[in-house]
Structure formats: structure tokens, C-alpha cells
């Protein structure tokens, strides 16, 4: 059982470049989300989805785009990378039940130079 | 809005010391509460959870009790080990008219245990 798989693990981008962070889960979870983790700021929600075809903005959505064409996949797109987007990115999935936890991917460490 | 506040870190302890990491929350309704742990270079994994008032979550010697009256969910361990060195996150999941399954995190507390 793979759980939540994120790729790549590491990435260096130049300012202005675009890229897509991939996230896939095999647990048939309705809810998927993207967080960024910065020192001293915990995890901040970028975008989330409650099911295929439905996405919404989180706390820090600017500069990022998402889509959810299938239950399994939830890619995060950086449209024009900026140094402020240097961070560690985590994808998570969960069922919508109140009692169940979220499962996290291993993270993508992104550096924008 | 809903929020989680954790004690500032880093916390440095000697092996076999007692650990407490404070967590308080603000939420409408009755949230479910979680503690996650992040080991160096890894993603977050669930440590324990409690889904209603007075529930006690426990795992790997860690415990936390859901206290509705003080809106708290403090993490405790009686005797820490070097292998417990990690970042600990308190989080909540709220009921709502649109139950999205969204988790709200505290800022994380870094624990370093020295031999």
C-alpha cells in the first residue's frame, strides 16, 4: 500500500520557471490538500479539494494552481516561480470523516534561485 | 477563525526526562484533535488522536487528553529517548456546514533529546 506519493523529492528552479509537483494517493480518499512548511510558521494550506472536479483556495494560494481530474491525483502547479516559494511542500489526503487522520507524502524540497 | 497554538520551541531535554508540549485551540463546535510527528527529512505521521472531550489518545509512550473546559490537548511522555527528537505538530479538524476534512496546524515544536 503506497499511501501518498509525491514527486519529485528535490527541485531547484530559476525565477520565472514553471513546474508541477505531483501527488497521488491510492486510498480512495475524497479530501486532498497541499501545504507548505516554512521555518517557524508550521504548515500553511495552499489549496485543497473535496473530490474530483472540486478545488478551493487555502490560506496562501497566490502563485499556485491546482486541478483534480481524478480521485487519485492532485498536482500543484507553480506558474512563475519566485524565491518566496522556496519551501518544503507536502501533499496530504484523508477521508472526510471527522475521526480520521490525514496521510502525508514525504515532501518536496523546492529551491527557487 | 479556528486556530491552534503550541508552545514555542525548541525544547531540549536529557534522556529519560519528562516531556510536556502545550497545545491550546480555538474552534467552533467540537473538533477532533491530533498530534503529528515529523522526523528529520520525513513527512508528517500521526502520533495520536482524540475525537471527543475527555478522550485520551496514546501511542509509543506519548499521551494527550482532550480537555474541552480548557480547550487544550497537551502532549506528554514520561521518559523521552534520543529517538524522540523530532518536530511535533498539534492539529484540529472541525465540523462545519461544509465538512471538508481540513486540518489546521499549530506552528510545531522542535524537541531535541540529548543522551
- The DSSP result for chain A, as a single string, is ---EEEE-SEEEE-TT--EEEEEEESS--SEEEEEEE-TTS-EEEEEEEEETTEEEE-SS-TTEEE--SSSSB--EEESS--GGG-EEEEEEEE-S-TTPPPEE---EEEEE-
When mean pLDDT is compared across A100-109, B7-16, B90-99, the lowest value belongs to B90-99
pLDDT at res. B29? 79
Q: How confident is the model at residue B100 (pLDDT cuts 50, 70, 90)?
A: low
Q: Are B102 and A31 within 8 A, CB to CB?
A: yes
When mean pLDDT is compared across A26-35, A57-66, B44-53, B93-102, the lowest value belongs to B93-102
> Percentage of chain A with pLDDT > 90?
87
> Percentage of chain A with pLDDT > 70?
99
Q: Does B5 touch chain A (CB under 8 A)?
A: no
Q: How confident is the model at residue B64 (pLDDT cuts 50, 70, 90)?
A: very high
pLDDT tens digit sequence for A39-94: 877 899 999 999 999 999 998 999 999 999 999 999 999 999 999 999 999 999 99
Task: Tell whether the model's pLDDT for residue B3 goes beyond 80.
Answer: yes
Instruction: State how far residue B68 is from chain A, nearest Cα, in angstroms.
Output: 17
Closest by Cα among B58, B6, B55, B60 to B32: B55
CA B66 and chain centroid, separation: 11
When the pLDDT of each residue in chain A is averaged and rounded to a whole number, the result is 93
- Report the half-sphere exposure of B34 (CA within 13 A, side-chain side): 24
Closest by Cα among B50, B100, B88 to B72: B50
Between the alpha carbon of residue A109 and those of residues A13, A35, A65, B104, B109, the distances in Å are 11, 12, 18, 21, 20
Q: Does A2 touch chain B (CB under 8 A)?
A: no
B57-79 mean pLDDT: 97
Contact residues on chain B for A90, CB-CB shorter than 8 A = 43-44
| Segment 31-60 of chain A within 8 Å of chain B by CB | 31, 33, 35, 40-43, 45, 48, 50, 56, 58
Between vectors from CA A103 to CA B24 and to CA B33, what angle results, nearest 5°?
Answer: 20
Query: In whole angstroms, what is the distance from residue A98 CA to residue A20 CA?
Result: 30
Q: Are B99 and A98 within 8 A, CB to CB?
A: yes
Residue found by looking up cell 484533535 in the block: B33
Name the more confident of A1 and B49. Answer: B49
Q: How confident is the model at residue B94 (pLDDT cuts 50, 70, 90)?
A: confident
CB-count exposure of residue A45 (10 Å: 0-12, 13-18, 19+): buried
Amino acid at each position: 500500500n503506497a499511501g501518498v506519493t509525491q514527486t519529485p523529492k528535490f527541485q531547484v528552479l530559476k525565477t520565472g520557471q514553471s513546474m508541477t509537483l505531483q501527488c497521488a494517493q491510492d486510498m480512495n480518499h475524497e479530501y486532498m490538500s497541499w501545504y507548505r512548511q516554512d521555518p517557524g510558521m508550521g504548515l500553511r494550506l495552499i489549496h485543497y479539494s473535496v473530490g474530483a472536479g472540486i478545488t478551493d483556495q487555502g490560506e496562501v494560494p497566490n502563485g499556485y494552481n491546482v486541478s483534480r481530474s481524478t480521485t487519485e491525483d492532485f498536482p500543484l502547479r507553480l506558474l512563475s516561480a519566485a524565491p518566496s516559494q522556496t519551501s518544503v511542500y507536502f501533499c496530504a489526503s484523508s477521508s472526510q470523516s471527522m475521526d480520521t487522520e490525514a496521510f502525508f507524502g514525504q515532501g518536496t524540497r523546492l529551491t527557487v534561485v | 477563525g479556528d486556530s491552534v497554538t503550541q508552545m514555542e520551541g525548541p525544547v531540549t531535554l536529557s534522556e529519560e526526562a519528562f516531556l510536556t508540549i502545550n497545545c491550546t485551540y480555538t474552534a467552533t463546535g467540537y473538533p477532533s484533535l491530533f498530534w503529528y510527528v515529523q522526523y528529520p527529512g520525513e513527512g508528517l505521521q500521526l502520533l495520536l488522536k482524540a475525537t471527543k472531550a475527555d478522550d485520551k489518545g496514546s501511542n509509543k509512550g506519548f499521551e494527550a487528553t482532550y480537555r474541552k473546559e480548557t480547550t487544550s490537548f497537551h502532549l506528554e511522555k514520561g521518559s523521552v529517548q534520543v529517538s524522540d527528537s523530532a518536530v511535533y505538530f498539534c492539529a484540529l479538524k472541525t465540523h462545519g456546514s461544509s465538512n471538508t476534512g481540513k486540518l489546521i496546524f499549530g506552528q510545531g515544536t522542535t524537541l531535541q533529546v540529548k543522551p
